[in-house]
Structure 1
Amino acid sequence: MLATSLSNFNNNTEHLPEPVQKKAAIMQPYFFPYIAYFQLISAVDVFVIYDNIKYTKKGWINRNRILQEGRDQLISLPLKNASDSLDVVERALADSFDAKKMLNQIRAAYLHAPYFAQVYPLLESILNNPERNLFEFLHQSVVKICAYLNISTNIIISSSLAIDHELKGQDKVLAICQVLGASDYVNAIGGQDLYSREDFSSCNIALHFIQSELRIYKQFGAEFVPWLSIIDLMMFNSDDDISDYLKNGYTLL
């Protein structure tokens, strides 16, 4: 498997890498995100994961899609009722969350996938985590998946950085890049309308956008369902194929 031991993953959060010039990316946490999320992490030297960012309903923070009987099916982490104004780090999983039930759903969906036996222990390790703080649960899952995929990028929690956390949007991103000493900032392709290359350039930071290439792989013989959770990709692809997708399956614009 891509990582020799799930219990020995290297959690490098809170330690900045040595080089002064580095590529950085910033993203909110997601639940079993799709391949492009991990391509973004793999493409940079330091990845900042937001904890002090507002939770958004009907996004991908606490849900994602798997393949079930040839169709996409949502899996979701239920949350305790709370104000919509709270940050991700202030939200918690509901008492009704049943890890065993979700694992059984995943098992039923992927039992006959070629890499089920290899991947399922990772999912057990993630979903059986007793942590109930939403951010901590997601943060630990991202770190474990990165370790499993041999992604060594340094992962830092946003609130640990010495910036003005009242800043918003591009101003906050620039502040984070500057405190990290980043020479390049890489953002998901969907953020092209949010940032100005000129503003980044004026701060001596090059702005890039990552565009993931769609690779069709064999699922269970039915019509291919694209952009599912990383769970699906890992269940149907070899270590070598996943490594190649992480390294070569995208374009930096």
Structure 2
Amino acid sequence: MIVTIHQPDYIPYIGYFYKISKADVFVFLDDAQFSNDNMHHWNKIKTPQGELRLKIPVSYHFGDSIHKIRTKDELGWKEKHLKILEMNYKKSRYFNEIFPFFRELLLCNYDSLADMNITINRYICYGLGLVPRFIKASELNIASAKEEKVLDVCTHLDGTDYISGIGAKAYQTEEHFRKRGICLSYTDYKPVLYPQLWGEFIKNLSILDFLFNCGFHWELIEEYLID
């Protein structure tokens, strides 16, 4: 059984969903420590002027885990994000198909940033036909960290294979996984070249950029892979 793990990020890039597409079980690492630098509460879209960052204002204390972070909805950021998306993507081919579902999901009330991101990302997965078993790490009650946390999660789930992000090479050792009977590999995702609005192609934007331009057509990912 193939396991993959990642923090619940906000409207993440295609590579996030590519990793999900390889999994039998995908674990949302919602009990990881929140980072203001990581893409837990922001991502990038495309405008006529180039990249634009959409960022969610949040309330947190240092050391809080993602599933304890509250979004400051009283500041109207949801309406602002929706307006920006409409302004920049209303001419895209699949805008009328994608925008209403995203608006409906975003405007719901959520207990935490993690719950919101998980709900949105799971819905996107279903639209793309990606249906692994989804699990929240916070529900597993595993207290270890970094490599040991990954090993403990995979062991708990009877995982035989673990597909990791490239960034984790800095703290993971293949031998440690082998001793647990787990085959460690790393994602082979490469940026995808697909039709975009507004001139020269920009890679690794939010999945919304792909959805607005290409719809829920995951089969196009293989067609648009950059060699």
- Name the % identity: 24
Match of 1:6 in 2: none
Partner-residue secondary structure (3-state), 1:192 = helix
**1:245 lines up with 2:215 in the alignment:** no
Partner-residue secondary structure (3-state), 2:75 = coil
Which whole-Å CA distance do the structure 2 matches of 1:139 and 1:125 have between them? 15
Match of 2:7 in 1: 28
CA, structure 1 residues 123+144, in 2 after alignment: closer, same or farther (shift >3 Å)?
Answer: same
Partner-residue secondary structure (3-state), 1:212 = coil
> Displacement of 1:191 after TM fit?
1.8
Paired AA for residue 203 in structure 1: R
Partner-residue secondary structure (3-state), 1:155 = strand
Which whole-Å CA distance do the structure 2 matches of 1:238 and 1:85 have between them? 38
Partner-residue secondary structure (3-state), 2:36 = coil
Q: Aligned runs of 1:95-114 on 2, under 5 Å?
A: 95-114=74-93
Match of 1:213 in 2: 190
> Displacement of 1:238 after TM fit?
4.7
> Displacement of 1:143 after TM fit?
1.2
User: What whole-Å deviation, never above 9, does each CA across 1:171-228 have from its counterpart, x for those lacking one?
Assistant: 1110110010000000112222221111111111000100212222221251111110
Match of 2:64 in 1: 86
Q: Root-mean-square deviation (CA), in Å?
A: 2.0
User: What whole-Å deviation, never above 9, does each CA across 1:41-95 have from its counterpart, x for those lacking one?
Assistant: 1101001111211100121000000001140100011112x31111111110112
Which whole-Å CA distance do the structure 1 matches of 2:55 and 2:216 have between them? 27
- More displaced 10-residue stretch of structure 1: 216-225 or 83-92: 216-225
Which whole-Å CA distance do the structure 2 matches of 1:70 and 1:183 have between them? 46
Of 213, 219, 226, the residue aligned with 1:236 is 213
Which whole-Å CA distance do the structure 2 matches of 1:96 and 1:173 have between them? 36
Q: Using structure 2 for the length normalisation, give the TM-score.
A: 0.93
Match of 2:161 in 1: 184
Alpha carbons 1:64, 1:74 under 8 Å: kept = yes
Partner-residue secondary structure (3-state), 1:131 = coil
Paired AA for residue 85 in structure 1: G
Which whole-Å CA distance do the structure 1 matches of 2:124 and 2:95 have between them? 15
Of 151, 171, 180, the residue aligned with 1:194 is 171
User: What whole-Å deviation, never above 9, does each CA across 1:129-176 have from its counterpart, x for those lacking one?
Assistant: 11141111111111111111111111101021254x1x1111111011
CA, structure 1 residues 246+192, in 2 after alignment: closer, same or farther (shift >3 Å)?
Answer: farther
Match of 1:174 in 2: 151
Partner-residue secondary structure (3-state), 2:196 = coil
Q: Using structure 1 for the length normalisation, give the TM-score.
A: 0.84
Partner-residue secondary structure (3-state), 2:187 = strand
CA, structure 1 residues 216+247, in 2 after alignment: closer, same or farther (shift >3 Å)?
Answer: closer
Of 36, 47, 55, the residue aligned with 1:76 is 55
* Alignment size in residue pairs: 226
Which whole-Å CA distance do the structure 2 matches of 1:250 and 1:174 have between them? 32
Alpha carbons 1:53, 1:87 under 8 Å: kept = yes
Match of 1:8 in 2: none
Alpha carbons 2:98, 2:215 under 8 Å: kept = no
**1:159 lines up with 2:135 in the alignment:** no
Paired AA for residue 176 in structure 2: D
Match of 2:107 in 1: 128
Partner-residue secondary structure (3-state), 1:147 = helix
Q: Name structure 1 gaps, 5 residues minimum.
A: 1-21
Of 112, 118, 125, the residue aligned with 2:97 is 118
